Amino acid sequence: MFEIKKSVVIDAPLVKVCEYMKDPSNLPEIWPSMVAVKNVRSNSNGWPIYEWVYKMGGMTFQGESDTIKYVENSHVTTESTKGIQSHFEFDYKYNNGKTEVDMLAQYTIPIPLIKNVAEQIIGKLNEHEAETMLANLKVRMEG
């Protein structure tokens, strides 16, 4: 399983950033390889569960993510067991009028893509993807 940890400080209020990220249908606006998010609904806790289409290594995957932990304006954890197995954590912290976003992503590269060399390349591409997603969130919230 691969792991990526990234952070960004956004010149926008904490509530604005958290409200934006609370809606999974916003993800394709900031996440370059997130082709689509659909069928957003609430799980038994009232937290988002949604289907997605994601492009990785030139292949398209469909899956579903479920929010398994949610702390208003502080923390979100999602897990996917369909499509690409993954675990994402987003921590939001107020920082002198700005918002610090810490992201942890753990994921398994799907079997059709697994090859020793390709695995490392895809890991680096996904790390860049995480940086781009956080940079796009920063631009969207500050702009």
Our CA angle for 130, 40, 76, nearest 5°, is: 45
Separation in Å, CA 79 to CA 98, 106, 107, 111: 27, 9, 9, 18
CB–CB of 49/42 below 8 Å?
yes
CA distance 117 to 82: 25
The H-or-E segment that residue 110 falls in is none
User: Can you tell me the distance from the alpha carbon of 46 to that of 38, in angstroms, rounded to the nearest whole number?
Assistant: 17
Integer Cα distance of 35 and 76 in angstroms:
21
Q: Which domains does the chain have, with CATH numbers?
A: 2-142 (3.30.530.20)
pLDDT at site 112: 60
pLDDT per residue as tens, the chain (143 positions): 889 999 999 999 999 999 999 999 999 999 999 999 999 999 999 999 999 999 987 788 999 999 999 999 999 999 998 888 999 999 999 999 999 999 999 998 776 655 555 767 778 888 899 999 999 999 999 98
Q: ∠4-45-21 over CA atoms, to 5°?
A: 40
